[in-house]
Amino acid sequence: MPNEISNLLGDFWRYLQQPDLLWQIGVLLLCLALAYFAERRVRSRASSHSMDDRLAWRYGQGGLKRLTFPLLALALVVLARAVLRNWLSVHLLTLAIPLLASLAVIRAVFYVLRLSFGNSGWLGSFERLFALLVWGIVALHITGLLPELIDMLEGVSFSLGKQQFNLWQIVQACAALLVTLLAVIWASGLIEDRLMRAEGLDGNLRVVFTRLAKALLILLAVLVGLPMVGIDLTTLSVFGGALGVGIGFGLQKIASSYVSGFILLLDRSIRIGNIISVGSERGQVTQITTRYTVLKGLSGVEAIVPNEILVGSVVLNESYTDPHIRIVLSVQIGYDSDIEQAMRIMVDAARTQPRVLADPEPQAFLLAFADSGINLELGFWVDDPQVGTLRLRSDINLAIWRGFRSAGIEIPYPQREVHMIEG
C-alpha cells in the first residue's frame, strides 16, 4: 500500500508537468461555467411562477433544479472529452466524469430527503458528510486503492453465534440499510400525503395509519436490507429476546404509553380540540402522539400527559359528544333579603351575557338555610368551553353584586350568636 501511494503521487506530479493539462483545465472550467449559468436560468424561471405552479414545481420539477448543474456539466465534459481525445490527453476530464456523476447522485438522494423531512438543519451537515464519503469512495476507485481497502476490511472478522462476520459485510449492511431506508422515507412520505388529503377519513385514523405504515416499511427495510449482504436474521434472535426482556421490565412504562397512544388514536375517545380534565390538569388537546398527549391550559401552559394515564384513569371530557356544559355560581344572601328578587337578579345577570345559552335557560335555586345566610345557586349553559369560563364567571358575579346593591340585598358576613348566662 505505501509503495502504490508513492507511485501514484509520482505519476500525478509528472502529469501536472504536461502542457495538455492547462487546456483540460480551461475546458473543464468552461463546462462548469456553462452548467452554472444554466442552473441560474432554471432557478430564475422557478421563482417567477405562481403559488400553484411553485407547488407543482416543488414536487414535479424541483429535482431538475438541483440536478441541472451536475447533469449538464457531466454531459458537456463527456462531449469535450470525445472531441479532444484525438489531439490532447484527457485524463483530467476522465477524472471529472465520475465526480460529477456522484454529485448528481448525492443531490438526487438529498432531494428526496428534503421532500420527506423539510428543511431540517441536520440535513445540510449530513449532506456534506455524505458527499465527502461518496467522493472518497470514487477517488479510491479511480486510484485503484479501493480493492486493497476492501481486502483489508474483509481480513478483520469476528463471529456472532455460528455465523462469521467481517468489517466489509458490516459496511455493506449499513449501505444497504441506508438505501432501503431512503426508499422507505420516500414511500412513507407519499403515503402520508395521500392519507392527509383523504377527506372521508378521521384525523386520528390518518395519524394511526401513517405511523403504522412508516413502522411496517422500516421493518421491511431491515428484513430486506440485511439478507442482501448475507447476514442471517436468525442470528439476531438472541438480541431480539434480550430487547423483549428489556422492554418488559426496564421500559414497561414507555411501552405502556406507546400502546395506550395507539388505543387513544383508534377508539377516538379523545380528539384534537377536546377540553379534558385529568387529575389536576385541564386544558385543550392540541397534540396526540403515540407516547404522550399535550394539553394547553387557559394560562398558555402546556401539560405533557403520558398516554398511560389517560387510558388508566378517569378523564373528564367536556366536548366528547356534546360541547354544551353547565356552569354553577353560588351566592349567599341574608335572611332579611327578598329571596325571589335575588333569584330574578341572578337569572337576569346571566341572560345579559352573549355566551350564555337561552336554551336551556339560566335558572336560580334555593339550596339551603345556612348558619350565616341563605345559599342560592345560579346554573347556566355555554357551548364554547374552549374559550374558558373565568371571564364569564367574573362578569356575571359583578352584575349580581351590582344588582344586589341596587335592590338592597345583603351578602352577609359569617355570623354567630353568643348568649351570656348571668351568675
Q: What is the predicted pLDDT for the residue at 60?
A: 45
Same domain flag for 64 and 132: yes
Same domain flag for 380 and 267: no
Closest CA to 362 of 335, 385, 380: 380
Same domain flag for 192 and 285: no
Q: What is the predicted pLDDT for the residue at 180?
A: 74
Q: CA-CA distance, 106 to 399, in Å (whole number)?
A: 70
Closest CA to 383 of 399, 349, 400, 360: 360
Q: How many structural domains compose the chain? A: 4
Domain annotation covers residue 198: yes
**Residue where a domain terminates, one of 128, 155, 182:** 155
Same domain flag for 189 and 282: no
Q: What is the predicted pLDDT for the residue at 54?
A: 45
Q: What is the predicted pLDDT for the residue at 78?
A: 85
Domain annotation covers residue 133: yes
Domain annotation covers residue 37: yes
- Structural domain span for residue 358: 325-407
Same domain flag for 141 and 20: yes
Domain annotation covers residue 413: no
Q: What is the predicted pLDDT for the residue at 404?
A: 92
Q: Residues 119, 124, 126, 128: is their CA dihedral positive or negative?
A: positive
Helices (H), 352-422: 390-407
Report whether 285 contacts 272 (CB < 8 A). yes
Domain annotation covers residue 416: no
Give the distance, in angstroms, between the CA of residue 144 and the centroid of all CA atoms in the same chain.
Answer: 44
E strands, 53-210, in order: 157-160, 163-166
Q: Which three cell numbers stand for residue 2?
A: 505505501
Domain annotation covers residue 239: yes
Domain annotation covers residue 25: yes
Q: CA-CA distance, 259 to 350, in Å (whole number)?
A: 45
CATH assignment at residue 374: 3.30.70.100
Closest CA to 94 of 10, 14, 27: 27
Q: What is the predicted pLDDT for the residue at 402?
A: 92
pLDDT tens-digit profile, the chain (423 residues): 455 445 544 554 555 556 667 777 788 888 888 888 887 877 676 555 544 444 444 444 555 666 777 888 888 888 888 888 777 777 777 777 877 787 777 777 777 666 655 555 556 666 667 777 777 777 776 666 677 777 777 777 776 656 677 777 777 777 777 777 777 776 776 776 776 666 655 666 666 677 777 777 777 777 776 666 566 666 556 556 666 666 566 566 777 777 787 778 777 778 888 888 888 888 888 888 777 888 888 777 888 888 888 888 888 887 777 778 888 999 999 888 899 999 999 999 999 999 999 888 999 999 999 888 899 999 999 988 777 788 899 999 999 999 999 988 988 877 677 778 876
Same domain flag for 129 and 35: yes
Q: CA-CA distance, 337 to 260, in Å (whole number)?
A: 55
Report pTM.
0.42
